[in-house]
Amino acid sequence: MFHSLRKPDVLVTTLAAAGILMVTMGVRQSLGLFVSPLMTSTGLGITTISFALAIGQFTWGAIQPVAGGLADRFGPRAVLIGGLVILALGSAMTPFMTSGFGFTVSLGLLSAIGSGAGSFSVLIGAAARRLPAVAHGAAAGVINAGGSFGQFIFAPILQKLIQTIGWMGAMWTMALVALAALPLAGKVTQQAEAPVQHMGPDFGVLKAIGASLKDPSYLLLHAGFFTCGFHIAFLVTHLPGEVQICGLPPSVASWSLAIIGLANIFGSLYAGLCVAKYRSKYILAVMYGSRALLIAWHLLMPRTQLTYYLFAAGLGFTWLATVPPTAAIVGKLFGVRYLATLFGMTLFSHQLGGFFGAYLGGLAIMRFGDYSWMWYADMSLAVLAALVNLPIREMPVAKPLAAA
């Protein structure tokens, strides 16, 4: 499958997109490490900080169809450059904020808009329009693995920076890293060869959106992806707090997030391969069902470092590996002409779930003193997500004919 990525220009485009996603997702998925330092430094409560990060989850999703539409209309280069600059600005401004409103602006709006503009919808859409259909799954897997590698790299490094130079210095470091990724935007949009022409009618983006919202399969896909966002946002925001409640050192949380990212590198690549062999809806159903089982296992086990690391490895394999099969279904249903826009809308549903996962986690810890009810909700939603993917309309995967 990955032989389709061997052409030099195709490989450079895919790896550059993976590099940008490594930065934008590495920064975004590590923000939970700043919750405790922000509370200590500013005196703000967990609910206030959680709300700012929940707004960030919502904003990251809301910007996806907007950024995707701009990339479909004007090209991805300006969108990616603008996203990285805004991400750097949001990170650089955060240390100067002292109120919940200030953090909502810097982390909830600016950082989220920047990381969202340099995320899945624009990057996968840009790659898909340059690649033949047979390579879409592999490219999406590699790009997605870049985001996971960012989480693996950023989480322990940022935790160490927080401990050595303080959370403010860590924020400014993230801003510099975002600016350092700017040259990759040109590589993603290189014009060494003309983009692959995928035949099909072009009725305009508004008609494409209208048609998609009338498709039951597309709506079911949104429902499942909503749960994925709830699950991920809850964990990246509140896993450090869960670890602290258990009396374990902060390094357990940072290494758990890093293990999730490492495991998802392999999960994303494997998901990209599976897209070419199996129906994507079945891949998604298995992923969501496995999460419910892993959460049940986690609740039954003693809260030790080993338990958290094993839990992280299991969840990490499916963490964001849901992206390649989800993008594949959108492409199969509607083609790739407006893939960035339509997949961006799917990511918006993902982040609606993310808003509730981040914010309700803060409310739960204030009301009950632990996250038990959030785990129960997370497990129940995972079961529902597995079920709603099964009725999605998806043609069987075409098998290559055996040579005579």
Find tokens 């959030």 and name the residue. Answer: 374
pLDDT at site 376: 93
Give the whole-angstrom CA distance, residue 315 versus residue 45: 29
pLDDT at site 402: 38
Share of the chain above pLDDT 70, in %: 88
Give the whole-angstrom CA distance, residue 317 versus residue 290: 10
pLDDT in tens, 153-186: 888 888 889 989 999 999 999 999 999 999 988 8
The domain limits of the chain are 2-190+204-389
Helices (H) and strands (E) in the chain, counts: 18, 0
Give the whole-angstrom CA distance, residue 347 versus residue 207: 19
Question: Is 363's pLDDT higher than 90?
Answer: no
Share of the chain above pLDDT 90, in %: 26
With bands split at pLDDT 50, 70 and 90, how would you rate the model's confidence at 91? very high
248 vs 144, higher pLDDT: 248
DSSP 279-292: -HHHHHHHHHHHHH
Structure tokens at 83: 């996203």
pTM of the model: 0.72
CB pairs under 8 A, 24+ apart, for 279-283? 279/394, 279/396, 279/397, 280/324, 280/325, 280/326, 280/328, 280/329, 280/332, 280/394, 281/325, 281/329, 281/389, 281/390, 281/392, 281/394, 282/389, 282/390, 283/325
pLDDT at site 318: 86
With bands split at pLDDT 50, 70 and 90, how would you rate the model's confidence at 377? very high
Instruction: Give SS3 for 248.
Output: coil
196 vs 394, higher pLDDT: 394
Contacts of 398 (CB under 8 A, 6+ apart): none
Question: Is 40's pLDDT higher than 80?
Answer: yes
pLDDT at site 53: 86
Alpha-carbon Rg for the chain in angstroms: 20
Whether 125 contacts 340, CB under 8 Å: yes
Give the whole-angstrom CA distance, residue 167 versus residue 74: 37
Candidates 146, 59, 68, 145; CA nearest to 104 is 59
DSSP 164-213: HTHHHHHHHHHHHHHHHTHHHHHHHT--SSPPP--------HHHHHHHHH
Give the whole-angstrom CA distance, residue 64 versus residue 67: 5
Relative orientation angle of helices 372-389 and 216-245, to the nearest 10 degrees:
160
Q: What is the mean pLDDT of the chain?
A: 83
The CATH architecture that domain 2-190+204-389 belongs to is: Up-down Bundle (1.20)
Cα separations (Å) of 95 from 162, 166, 348? 12, 10, 28
Contacts of 126 (CB under 8 A, 6+ apart): 13, 17, 71, 76, 188, 189, 340
pLDDT at site 192: 43
Strands (E), 333-404: none
Give the whole-angstrom CA distance, residue 90 versus residue 83: 11
